[in-house]
Amino acid sequence: MKYATRLLLTILFFSIISFSIMILWVSKAIEHDSFTTIEKQMMEKADLCELSIREILARHDKETTKADPSAVVKDVLSVLKASGSEVRIYDDRLNLLGLAENGIIRYNGTPRIYNENLVNALKGNYAYTVTNQHLIYFAIPIQDKYYQTAYVFEIVEDISYFYDILDTIRTIFIIGAGGFLILITLSGLYIARKTTEPIKYLLSATEKFSRQQFDPVELNRKDELGMLAAGLNLMGMKLNEYIKYQKQFVSNVSHELKTPLAAIRGFSQYLYEGETEEQDLKKISFHLINESDRLTRLINELLILSQFDNATPDLNAGKEDLSELTGCVIHEMKASAEKRGISIKADLTTGVWVNVNKTLMSHAIANILENAIKYSHAEGHISVETYLDSATAVIKISDQGIGIKESELALVQERFYRAGNSNLVSGSGLGLSLCREIVQKFGGQLLIESKLGDGTSVSILLPLA
């Protein structure tokens, strides 16, 4: 079912339920209130009738020693014949003594008698019954001078006017409710259309996104839908950037793989052609080993990066002494520094413990130290320090090499970015980005300070274990 239809049906459902309850409740309240008024009026009338009949009885008692019932009935009917649309008088054994219908007195006939009503009145109380034809039979007990119920006087009234008023009120309510429902349906349709229009627009935008068309979503609203559009825009922008990045990444990787592969291919061809002297053979083998190492390193770094791109990479962190970790890396790289006459001065504070994966952190430190060696002038000096700075463990590697331009300091931490100064030295531009990701994975950060021509110092800041 469409959202607009569901919205409309929900509004209509609740409106109908509310209107039905309201109409029922109001008509019951009016019925109850009005009936109480009718009851009160009938009682007032009954009081007056009782008074008149008592006067008639008193007069008869005075005139004769024993009041003559037929004379009493005659007098009562002639005085009270117009008190209701029908009045009746019964004796204490509930025999009908006479009645007056529309003001005309009759002493015979078999009208409908509600015995229960009369029996209740005989007990000395007012009693009434309302028939299905909307007639009220109101019975009034009349007592003689000995306070015995001698007669029952009954007034019959047509109260259908009251039910007619009730019906009119109900009809007005139902027509009003119908009008309201029509209004609600129309406004519901309007609201549903107004709500679904932007939703449809957003839906079409997401469909375009799925076809990689990231046109901006323009929905000028300040409500939740406007926020959703802004969210979609942001998502589209990020997705676009990500897709571009992925494409660039694949092309960079292919390029970086191509160079050593082409070199390996060239040297292999040279070997194949077979006219190689002993001296060249050694050189070729050296290059082949070099290029294969470069390939292996690149692939290893790509594997680490792809592992980091997973939502939950397996880090296997453990408590390590930073000075020990750095010492090992310096020991491994000392030979390659010495080849270029570069000295490494180490100042390592022991007992600075960090929570890291030993292999990954060694890889990061080695990358920075390798850069310091690669980008230093021959016979240069490198200093490596590990120390505790308040609650942070620090490894700082400083060189006096070629340095990095200030505008490129942030860029060199991006994947595959190589600064303009690095043309003469081989590399893929992955090292620092990998370092930064490794350090961040263990809650730390990478700081690079450099001055072109003066040297660079790279610091790894890590939380203590």
Q: How many helices (H) and strands (E) does the chain have?
A: 9, 13
**Residue 386 contact partner, candidates Mg ion, ligand ATP, none, CB within 5 to 8 A by sort of partner:** none
DSSP 215: P
Amino acid, res. 230: A
State yes or no: residue 438 binds ligand ATP (CB under 6 A): no
Say how far residue 112 (Cα) sits from the centre of its chain.
69
**Residue 399 contact partner, candidates Mg ion, ligand ATP, none, CB within 5 to 8 A by sort of partner:** ligand ATP
Q: How far is the CB of 371 from Mg ion (least distance, A)?
A: 4
According to DSSP, the residues that pair with 395 across neighbouring strands are: 386, 460
Site string for ligand ATP, 375-394 (x = CB under 6 A): x-------------------
Cα–Cα distance measured from residue 100 to residue 41, given in angstroms and rounded to the nearest whole number? 21
CB count within 10 Å of CB 386 equals 25
Nearer to ligand ATP, 97 or 446 (CB): 446
What value, to the nearest 5°, has the Cα angle with vertex 196 and ends 191 and 202?
145
Residues 233-272 that bind Mg ion (CB under 5 A): none
What value, to the nearest 5°, has the Cα angle with vertex 327 and ends 323 and 333?
150
| Size of the chain, expressed as the number of residues it contains | 465
Q: Which of 86, 385, 399, 437 binds ligand ATP (CB under 6 A)?
A: 399
Cα–Cα distance measured from residue 67 to residue 86, given in angstroms and rounded to the nearest whole number? 25
Say how far residue 352 (Cα) sits from the centre of its chain.
47
CB count within 10 Å of CB 312 equals 5
Q: Output 281-288 pairs: Cβ under 8 A, ≥24 positions apart.
A: 287/263, 288/264
Q: Which of 69, 313, 427, 463 binds ligand ATP (CB under 6 A)?
A: 427
Phi first, then psi: give them for residue 387, nearest 5 degrees: -160, 175
State yes or no: residue 439 binds ligand ATP (CB under 6 A): no
Q: Which of 380, 401, 431, 455 binds Mg ion (CB under 5 A)?
A: 431
**Residue 401 contact partner, candidates ligand ATP, Mg ion, none, CB within 5 to 8 A by sort of partner:** ligand ATP
- Region of 64-72, 96-104, 189-197, 395-403 interacting with ligand ATP (CB under 6 A): 395-403
Q: Which regions of 49-117 does DSSP assign to beta strands (E)?
A: 86-91, 96-101, 104-106
Residues 317-376 that bind ligand ATP (CB under 6 A): 367, 371-372, 375
Nearer to ligand ATP, 386 or 456 (CB): 456
Nearer to Mg ion, 81 or 418 (CB): 418
**Residue 236 contact partner, candidates Mg ion, ligand ATP, none, CB within 5 to 8 A by sort of partner:** none
Is the Cβ–Cβ distance between 120 and 139 less than 8 Å? yes
State yes or no: residue 403 binds ligand ATP (CB under 6 A): yes
Site string for Mg ion, 357-396 (x = CB under 5 A): --------------x-------------------------
Q: Which of 69, 198, 327, 429 binds ligand ATP (CB under 6 A)?
A: 429
Interface contacts to ligand ATP, rule CB under 6 A: 367, 371-372, 375, 399, 401-404, 412, 418-419, 421-422, 427-433, 456
Interface contacts to Mg ion, rule CB under 5 A: 371, 431
